[in-house]
Amino acid sequence: SSRRRHTRLQGDWSSDVCSSDLADEDLTILKAYDVWGKKQFMGRVFEGIIRTSFLIDEKGKIKAVIEKPNTADHANQILESWK
C-alpha cells in the first residue's frame, strides 16, 4: 500500500524533507496546486495527476510553473523558465 511504502521511505529521506507530505492520500496538496483533474487517454476520461513542474526559489516561493512539461526537453524548459 501507499502508506506502507511511505513508512519504509521515511527513514531514507533527509530531515529537511517534509516526509509527512509525501503520501497525499486525500489529494489535499494536489488540489491546492491545481494538479489533480480530468484527463483523457485513448478516448477514456478519468481523474489523475496533471503533469506540472514548479520551480521553487531558495526562499520557498514559486518562481515559475511549467504546464505539460516536454520530457525530451525539460532541462531546457527549466533553464529558460529560471531566467
H/E run at residue 2:
helix 2-10
Q: So what's the pLDDT on residue 39? A: 92
In sign, the C-alpha dihedral spanning 66, 71, 75, 77 is negative
Q: So what's the pLDDT on residue 9? A: 58
Q: What percent of the chain has pLDDT over 90?
A: 46
Q: So what's the pLDDT on residue 15? A: 52
Average pLDDT rounded to a whole number, residues 59-70:
90
Assess contact for 49 and 62: CB atoms under 8 A: no
Q: What pTM did the predictor assign?
A: 0.62
Q: So what's the pLDDT on residue 68? A: 87
